[in-house]
Chains A and B, each alone.
Chain A
Amino acid sequence: MTARGLLYLLLVVFVAYYMLPLFVMVITSLKDLDEIRAGSLMSPPDRVSLESWGTAWSSACAGILCEGLQPFFWNSVKMVVPAVLLSTLLGAVNGYALSQWRFRGANLIFALMLFGCFIPFQVVLLPMARTLGLLGLAGSLSGLVLVHVVYGLGFTTLFFRNFYVTVPTELVKAAKIDGAGFFTIFLRIFLPLSPPIIVVTVIWQFTQIWNDFLFGVSFSQAGTQPVTVALNNIVNATTGVKEYNVDMAAAIIAGLPTLIVYVIAGKYFIRGLTAGSVKG
């Protein structure tokens, strides 16, 4: 066998390794409960039924509320969109200031922000809860947005700083002589350079925030739980029969947005990670 053949074999094995769980989830979600109990894990459904998807979306019981994932899904959307936008925008301004306006202490501030990236979630739980309480944001979606913005800032700043640091500092000098100030230079010159790194940051932040469970479960209350927490409540429900098909459908629904983001913007992600800021 040629080396190339071997390579392909290896690739197929890896693909199978990653795709099999998804495959099982999808086919399980399309079966009805009888078939799940009777048949094998791998066999495709005899009759395709979308009933479990409907249940998962609109009538499964998460805790005491039996309206499916739907309300929680929208909670997540309402949390993710502002959190991603805010953290990306602030990261861009931070990165621009840190890389192009080398003020006194810029390196120290950057080092501290980097350190922030490596602080485990668990460490900030209690101080964060206290802060949210003092701000009157405990249990609210705004509170969750704040938490994610603050926690994400280290990463977004890092991304943008490392991108902007490759821009020659003469650009800012030229613009200063032209009479532009801090924000004019940012908006007119640096932001237009940034689509590649914005894509990277948005994907990163979207995935992080959408998939987060710990902050979601810690800082939300009945009406404000994100979809991950609801999924957990559905899957871990202790009463009644275990509806594997509903669980699987719910899990796929909860994971779908990040999947879609990757499919749509994945290639820009790679491009953005490898792109320099100023060409030529």
Chain B
Amino acid sequence: MAEPDQSVLAIEKLSKSFQNTAVLTNIDLAIAEGSFLVLVGPSGCGKSTLLNCIAGLEEPSSGRILIGGRDMTGVPPKDRDIAMVFQSYALYPRMSVAKNITFGMQVRGATRAEQKSALERVSGMLKIDHLLERRPAQLSGGQRQRVAMGRALVREPRLFLFDEPLSNLDAKLRVEMRAEIKRLHQRLGASIVYVTHDQTEAMSLATEVAVMEGGIIVQRGPPQEVYDYPVNTFVAGFIGSPAMNFIEGHIRKDGGAVRIEIPFDGKTMAVPAEHYPFVGSTEDGTKVILGIRPEYVTGRDRASGDEEVSLELVPTLVETNGFDQHVNLAFGPAEISGRFSPREQIEIGTPLPTRIDLSQMSVFDRKTGMRL
């Protein structure tokens, strides 16, 4: 039990299939006490299934799950020391808010006094004291969300599980509740596994992100690391909004110098790659995809650094949001997007001086999609 580096949650070689379709394949995952892990991935990639396995609501087909170092195989949900918040809130419709929150305690045989003090603590924390007598149907979406969190909080569990808890809220409320969840995490130091398909939510909440695709965890790490060093084109395209630009090219090795050559306007544009931290060795002629985030495609007044190229590109679409202009620029037959200062005069069709900062680029193998 008392291993030194004990994790709150450890998942070992977990696989799950329904009938004959594999939904999760060989998942390995461990999180430390107090971390906020966000599982993010497109719809249907198995996030909820993984969460349900952790909660004990689904039985894994193989592999095992340890919570607090204890093997959870065959342990029912109520004995796993977890609490869960669902996307649909799943409040008990015919019970008052107070009853919803204390139902679990009551089922476990807590005394009235215990229930009362727990209720007071939680409802104060979530500012729902004035709602305690209402039924769920008499609450707004945000209030229901709070009650659902209250139901989880009274349990004081070892591990919180959240399944897309904010996706039924409107945009403004979502941002508010997001901040509130983050504050709760900081205040309680709780360990959380949080599922979402919204990469913004993942980036802003997580201390660690695990990106899933098709039942596999593709990459896992601190949000900034995942953002800066995506392991493949899927992660690169999924994390970040607007999405990363992908430009096709190939590697050219000349003695010691490494370049990436990009066919552009009938010519070849050479991008120096001496400083690029290649994962392994690369061969001359390898077909690659160059990944550049839109914020590194900017105008005259913004770019910096020495690893940059200057071009004239023709804008095809401009979107303003007040602090930035998102501009789509024709780049050969394709388009790339960039972020320009709101003061810059941009006209569709008129060539625009553009700088591309290459210090933060990513290079992927075009065949495998993996980071090089």
Instruction: Give the B-binding residues of A (Cβ under 8 A).
Output: 168, 170-171, 173-180, 184, 188-189, 192-193, 278-280
List chain B residues, Cβ under 8 A from A173: 52, 55, 57, 77, 84, 86, 90
Please tell me if the beta carbons of A177 and B94 are within 8 angstroms of each other in the complex: no
Chain A residues with CB under 8 A of B82 = 177
> Smallest Cβ distance from B168 to chain A, in angstroms?
12
Q: Given the complex of chains A and B, what is the CA–CA distance between A184 and B136 in angstroms?
A: 20
B92 & A176 in contact (Cβ 8 Å cutoff): no
Given A176-B78, A179-B108: A189 and B151 interface contact (C-beta under 8 Å):
no
16 CB contacts below 8 A, A to B, read A170-B87, A170-B90, A171-B90, A171-B92, A173-B52, A173-B84, A174-B151, A176-B77, A177-B77, A177-B82, A178-B78, A178-B104, A188-B92, A189-B95, A192-B93, A279-B93
A270 to B48, CA, bound (A): 38
Residue contact A280 to B137, C-beta cutoff 8 Å = yes
CA distance A179 to B92 in the complex (A): 14
Residue with the greatest number of chain A CB neighbours at <10 A, chosen from B104, B108, B136, B137: B104
Min Cβ gap A85→B in Å is 21
How many residues on B have C-beta within 8 angstroms of the other chain's C-beta atoms?
A: 24
Residues from chain B with Cβ under 8 Å of A193 in the complex: 93-94
B342 to chain A, nearest CB (A): 42
Closest to B108 in A: A179
Is there an interface contact between A177 and B84, defined as CB atoms closer than 8 Å? yes
**In the complex, what residues of B have CB within 8 A of residue A178's CB?**
78, 103-104, 107, 151
Contact A192 B94 (CB under 8 A): yes
Q: Is B76 an interface residue (CB 8 A)?
A: yes
> Could you tell me if A168 and B137 are in contact, using CB atoms closer than 8 angstroms?
no
Q: Contacts A174-B151, A280-B136, A280-B137: A179 and B88 contacting too (C-beta < 8 A)?
A: no
Cα–Cα, bound, A174→B83 (Å): 9
Q: Point out the residues of chain B lying under 8 angstroms from A171, CB to CB.
A: 90, 92-93
Q: How far is the CA of A226 from the CA of B104 in the complex (A)?
A: 48
A179 to B77, CA, bound (A): 7
Cβ-defined contact, B137 with A279, below 8 A = yes
Cα distance A188–B93 when bound, in Å? 11
B90's partner among A168, A184, A192, A279 (CB-CB below 8 A) is A168
Further pairs besides A180-B103, A189-B93: 10, Cβ < 8 Å: A168-B90, A174-B84, A174-B86, A175-B103, A176-B78, A177-B82, A177-B84, A179-B108, A189-B94, A192-B94
B137 near A174: Cβ-Cβ < 8 Å: no
- B76 contacts which chain A residues (CB < 8 A)? 176
Interfacial residues, chain B to chain A (CB-CB below 8 A): 52, 55, 57, 76-78, 82-84, 86-88, 90, 92-95, 103-104, 107-108, 136-137, 151
Q: A189 and B92: CB pair below 8 A? A: yes
Cα distance A176–B108 in the bound complex, in angstroms:
12
Chain B residue numbers with a CB within 8 Å of A188 are 92, 103
Q: Which residue of A lies closest to B83 (CB)?
A: A177
| With known contacts A170-B90, A279-B137, A184–B77 Cβ distance under 8 A | no
A176 to B82, CA, bound (A): 11
Contacts of B151 in A (CB 8 A): 174, 178
Rank and list the top 4 A-B pairs by shortest CB-CB distance, nearest first: A178-B104, A179-B78, A192-B94, A170-B90
Taking a contact as CB atoms under 8 Å apart, the answer to whether B88 and A168 are in contact is yes
For the complex, what is the distance from the CA of A180 to the CA of B83, rounded to whole Å?
14
Contacts of B55 in A (CB 8 A): 173, 177
Chain B hits for A179, CB < 8 A: 78, 104, 107-108
Write the chain A residue with the least CB distance to B139.
A280
- Cβ-defined contact, B136 with A177, below 8 A: no
A170 contacts which of B88, B108, B136 (Cβ < 8 Å)? Answer: B88
Closest to A195 in B: B94
Listed residue (A184, A192, A278) with the most chain B CB atoms within 10 angstroms of its CB? A278
Expressed in whole angstroms, the minimum distance between the Cβ of A218 and any Cβ of chain B is 42
Q: Given the interface contacts A170-B87, A188-B103, does A177 sit within 8 Å of B78 by beta carbon? A: yes
Q: When chains A and B are docked, how far (Å) is the Cα of A175 from the Cα of B107?
A: 10
Point out the residues of chain B lying under 8 angstroms from A180, CB to CB: 103-104, 107
- Nearest to B104 among chain A residues (CB) is A178
Chain A residues near B87 (CB-CB < 8 A): 170
CB distance from A221 to the nearest CB of B (A): 45
* Residue of A with least CB distance to B86: A170
Question: CB-CB < 8 A to A192: which residues of B?
Answer: 93-95
Could you tell me the distance in whole angstroms from the C-beta of B306 to the nearest C-beta in chain A? 54
Q: Which residues of B contact A280 (CB under 8 A)?
A: 136-137
Contacts of B93 in A (CB 8 A): 171, 189, 192-193, 278-279
